[in-house]
Chains A and B, each alone.
Chain A
Amino acid sequence: MSSAPVASSVAGVGHLLRLALRRDRVRLPLWVVGLGGTIVATAASIPPLYDTPEKVAGYARIVGSTPVSYLMSGRQVGLDTLGGIVANETSQVAQLGICLMVVFLVVRHTRAEEESGRAELLRSTVLGRHAATLAGLAYGLMAVLLISAITTVSMLAVGLDAVGSLTYGVGLALLGAVYTAITLVAVQLSTSARGALGLGVAAVAVGYLVRGLGAMEDNVLVWFSPFGWAQRMDAFGDERWWPALLLLATTALLLALAARLMAHRDFGGGLLQPRPGSARAGRALGTPFGVATRLQRGLLIGWAVGLFLLGMLYGSVIPSVPDLIASNPEMADFVGAGGQAAEDAIVDAFLAYMFLFMAVITCGFVVASVLRLRAEEEAGRTEVVLATPVSRTSWMAATTALALIAAVTLTVIMGLGLAVGYGLGSGEWDQVLRHVAGQLAYVPGTLVIGAFAAALFGLVPRATGVAWAAVALVALQVVLGEILRLPDAVQAISPFWHLAAVPLDDVELVPVLAELALTAALVAVGIWGYRRRDAVSG
């Protein structure tokens, strides 16, 4: 190909990139401050905690080689050094954060724009066919580099080994690059931004889980995940650079695929083409609840499948927890002294953390589901509904009820997944009820978060983004609350902090009832506010 068509197919990238930066002049700094800040805070919190060689040596034995740690953070090398500890504690937030960040940012500036029709206006100017994809790539990489640079600098700032810090940062950046490229493929496949987001987030989840399982079983599975490749650059151990080539090559291949897909599809089209639908509405579509259910059908099915599989994966590793403990001499001594009871306690602690972790994930669902109210309003679709005899109360109550009922249902599905995974792994099927009930013990926290989103929608619709900040805060409290030594007053903001650590502890009725009451109150306040405000976005 001569250079002229290439140049013309990418014309206007600079304009698009500037436009993206202008549109995200709040959003991007929020990501950088939120994610970067968490990484800096984590890195800074470690050295004071591990200030003697004994404490450093104890980390590998007590924290770094537990099943939970393998599953969540993989097998980090050099755990007997401060660098390894910082890397291990940071990796969950940094790796998941950077990947989710690029998925959200890249979809927002590519498929979401195309779907909204705004991109059509832009395409009619001097803008090449591949300009949007390239601008998305450049923007994603920029955000990735920012976060990676912050990570490396904060590691250097707390006095960690320079080569290790740099290797870790490079691994993180390349991981982000792979997911930028994956997202660019996803936006070619799906005709909707929501679908592209789903694909991107699913790819993050799969990569993360595969690495986690591989690390837990210490097998080759680690090498089937970009998360594994980045980690196996072995920062703070015997650094090696060839896994970086895997990441680079994958990025290049995916980008080539994205470009190819882009070149062969219509504007606004995708590989997943819409089929003709029904000319008449089914019976269920006659009530606000029916409509809300239909509008969220895809979301519900996607989450149900995803959470069931996640539950199964986590459930399937529980039976190997005792073996893992037995392979660690100090733990084995401890358990040996305590006998079966001590072993059970460790399995229960593992379970409690899994339940909590999965409950936090459902917060993402419940907020997305409740905030469909806002999305509908902003798209101007609520107007037509409210112009019928449907009242604001029934419209909002229907959507909110759907979200909360779905959250409970998904929790049960997740618990079932865990029980099935456990059954398959252990051959024992007598734990089903215990696992489902255990998972359900955490659902009040999820409901409070959903109700909080509903209250925001009713009272301060422009600030519904705060609900996502609440989800981030809850996740932060669960993942890093102890390590960051957040004051109790801050941790208490998370509704999960008040709930008993089932099955390690027994359910406490008071916090459960209090949170259910709070849920009802928040929803009521939201509806009260919604009835009083203008029902038009602006």
Chain B
Amino acid sequence: MMTASIKPKPMTAPKTLDDLVERDREHDCEGVGSQRICVRVAAVADLPSRFGDFKIVAFWNNRDGKEHTAIVHGDVIGAEDVPVRMHSECLTGDVMGSLRCDCRDQLELALRRIGELERGVVFYLRQEGRGIGLVNKIRAYALQDRGLDTVEANHALGFRDDERDYAIAAHMIRSLGLRSVRLMTNNPDKVAQLERYGVPITGRIPHLLPPNQHNRFYLETKANRSGHYIDFSGKPHLDEQSDRVLVEGMTVGED
């Protein structure tokens, strides 16, 4: 069985995010997915940021030491159609501003848009480059630097979606009490995957990057044989968010 229902402990309905910490103190459900992943809301605090007023929710999970977080804007507990963006940690892009990927642009866009809306959540999953790990990601870069950007090598290095990402995300969505979500993504498969874990999805919001000096090549060139765009510096861009990059004004070809 891939889906498992999560039965929150019966108690007075939580009203604020802070209540969730108390609710989850002893939460231990049968888990989501074949790996029976269970998460708890472990800590909540305000997070005013340059993108708006947020709260940050830190999660504990029963699988590994990865500390996933949700960046929450507005009242989301019990809300319907909540805009949600899933972002996989990318140290090189998010923090260092690397131009080898578009993670930072995608993250900033998500935070900015959600910060402007009434409510929404960015789930920041601490799965570097989709679970590949930093070492293997740098290995993938090193192969690219030597012109060895091939499908099999990237596959072996782990650039793929992990069932675990979705199971964790599904549980986090329910832990926050979202009744239904609208997923900000260009990848319809993400919608299908989350639905498999029982997340009610009422819509998909395309994630369109505004054109800038770093991503103009998306408008001008086609993807190479292994499906990666080659940027101005000659580096292929790995699809690290497993979310096809769409830049406003781009003509979308066939897959």
Question: Do A and B associate with each other?
Answer: no
Interface residues of A (CB under 8 A from B): none
